[in-house]
Amino acid sequence: MSKLVTGDGRTHIESSLMRESLVDRRVIAKTSSEEEFAIMPDVVMVGIGGQSIFDRGKGAVRPLVEELSALRATKKHKMVLSVGGGTRVRHTMSVALDLGLPLGGVAQLVGAMEECNAVFLNALLAKHGSIVMQREHFWELPLYLESGMLPIVISTPPYHFWEPPPAEGCLPTHGSDFGLFIHAEVLGARRIIFVKDEDGLYDKDPKKHTDAKQIKHTTLAALMKNMPEELILDHALFTTWQRARHIKHVQIVNGLVPGQLTKALAGEPVGTVIVKE
Amino acid sequence: MNSPHERRKLPSRLADSALTTATDSASKSFDYTPDAMMPDVKVFKVGGQSIMDRGREAVFPILDELVAAKDDHKLLLCCGGGTRARHVYAVASDLELPTGLLAALGGYVPRQNARMLQMLLAKHGGIYIMNDDFEKLPLYFRLGCIPIMTGMPPFGYWEKPSEGGRIPENRTDAGVFLTAEALGVKRAIFIKDEAGLFEDDPKKNKAAKHIPRITASELEKSDLPDMIVERVVVTYLQRARFCTELQIINGLERGMITRALKGEDVGTIITAK
């Protein structure tokens, strides 16, 4: 039993952090340990591009939906899906920045565009057991997965008006790739697969440069040393990954090539594989 | 790769942006000068361990001062956690659970504290609000209410892993700063049980010299193992567009809140530059 401690005008509950300053590095160090409990280590997060897949319409989305429903039928993977907001997010931000809305206000607005795509995806996958998972239902994830459903999460993190100011520029830095990553990390998942419209990561944007070279396999450490200027995933994902404990494997596959996602889920090194060693 | 199904774009200045980096070139084309939403709001943090855990002896005189000022100022109260939050963090750390879980759990205690203040202030217009009620603040102020909310930012399970331990880096100091920044408020006021920053711990050394003013970069350079506010706040302050000052006052000393509301530089002021 914890006991109450008084005597300095305050009432404390006895614990290893009692009376301590939680800003003190020595106190913070006491809360660290080698291991960290993995809440749902078998979950595989699959992030589907908004601009790269969804904004291409039926021709790109339908084959992917078929692949997802076939994957779900195999019951081999505990998949959790998400989808980005795409071009409407860019439009929202352009209007919001032009209007001079505060950074937190911009961050508050963008998630709604992603939710629209989540509803679209859910409509297409509903008969295969999909469900849009509201944030407040965070702990229903095991229920959905155990009953064989295909949850679709909102990946934009709920930072909203409280989006921290960026080091430079005027854009919120905690986007949907970062959000999906952090969601996977808190669950103790080991890997994430991003479905985009390119065969993975390139040294520069392959849409703008014909001589862009594909990076098939790399490590987080190597990537941090030599980060491409035009990035396919949020920069904040990589900086956060450096201090993460669970995610070991981030893969980027081409959703316009049928079967790539299935291969990636089976552990094949299609697209780009980034590992943390 | 070429696809028969082209990306369909809404024309906008960011239409071709990946939005993955802060240095995105298209975003530089904006002459971005945001407008302050409600710059005249007085954003207060009511300390958890420093005030709430002291009970009525500390809390009641503070509320008296706030109530006396409520018709002249738009007061927004944000609560800290305190000893129960420390207990939750200690239990969660012992169980080796991730930071995001600690952040979500750490959110419960400041909400309890906010509800306590709401009960005490109900007859003076105190209302408990959630993060989702943020956009209704103009209504609450127009009605003469004192909105009271958690100081914790709503990151919860989406909080980043911490460096060097499990305790979330964005806690109630960060949340209160970010609340002020979102509203476009220049100075956030933290009500604690010490008059801010001292050269030594005033709880252990009564002769410790008070520091009335310090810049965020000076604080950063001092690189002390302990700090007066959460470390992320020192970083955020230097990037702020609006909230460039934090004032830390001793709520146990009568009159300090009233003087802070008048704009007096009592306590310690931490400035962005």
Task: Clarify whether residues A140 and A57 are in a common domain.
Answer: yes
Say whether pLDDT at A173 is over 90.
yes
Return d(Cα B47, Cα B78) in angstroms, integer.
9
Task: Clarify whether residues A126 and A11 are in a common domain.
Answer: no
Choose among B30, B90, B87, B63: nearest CA to B191: B63
Distance from CA of B7 to the nearest CA of A (A): 4
pLDDT in tens, B80-92: 999 999 999 999 9
pLDDT at B1: 46
Task: Clarify whether residues A122 and A134 are in a common domain.
Answer: yes
Say whether pLDDT at B61 is over 70.
yes
pLDDT at B26: 85
Task: Clarify whether residues A17 and A83 are in a common domain.
Answer: no
pLDDT above 70: percentage of residues in chain A: 100
Task: Clarify whether residues A13 and A124 are in a common domain.
Answer: no
pLDDT at A10: 87
Cα B163 to its chain centre, rounded Å, is 20
Task: Clarify whether residues A229 and A94 are in a common domain.
Answer: yes
Task: Clarify whether residues A9 and A68 are in a common domain.
Answer: no
pLDDT in tens, A91-132: 999 999 999 999 999 999 999 999 999 999 999 999 999 999
* Total domains, chain A: 2
Judged by CB atoms within 8 Å, which residues 244-273 of B form the interface with A?
Answer: none
Distance from CA of A192 to the nearest CA of B (A): 16
Burial class (CB in 10 A: 0-12, 13-18, 19+), B262: exposed
Across B248-272, average pLDDT: 97
ipTM of the complex: 0.93
pLDDT in tens, A155-167: 999 999 999 999 9
pLDDT above 90: percentage of residues in chain A: 82
Task: Clarify whether residues A59 and A87 are in a common domain.
Answer: yes
Under 8 Å between Cβ of B237 and B243: yes
pLDDT above 70: percentage of residues in chain B: 99
Task: Clarify whether residues A28 and A72 are in a common domain.
Answer: no
Say whether pLDDT at B3 is over 60.
no
Q: Per the CB < 8 Å rule, is B12 touching A94?
A: yes
Task: Clarify whether residues A41 and A28 are in a common domain.
Answer: no
Give whole-number Cα distances, B215 to A25, A164, B102, B240, B272, in Å: 21, 19, 30, 13, 6
> ∠ CA(B25), CA(B29), CA(B35), 5° rounding?
120
In the CATH scheme, what is the code of domain B36-271?
A: 3.40.1160.10
Give whole-number Cα distances, B29 to A86, A114, B19, B26, B250, in Å: 20, 25, 14, 6, 45
pLDDT at A257: 96
> Domain limits at A108?
35-275
pLDDT at B200: 79
B156 CB near a chain A CB, below 8 Å? yes
Of B2-16, B124-138, B161-175, the one with minimum mean pLDDT is B2-16
Distance from CA of B122 to the nearest CA of A (A): 24
B209 CB near a chain A CB, below 8 Å? no
pLDDT at B222: 84
pLDDT at B208: 86
A to B CB pairs, distance under 8 Å = 281
Write the CATH number for A194. Answer: 3.40.1160.10
Task: Clarify whether residues A115 and A72 are in a common domain.
Answer: yes
Across A59-70, average pLDDT: 97
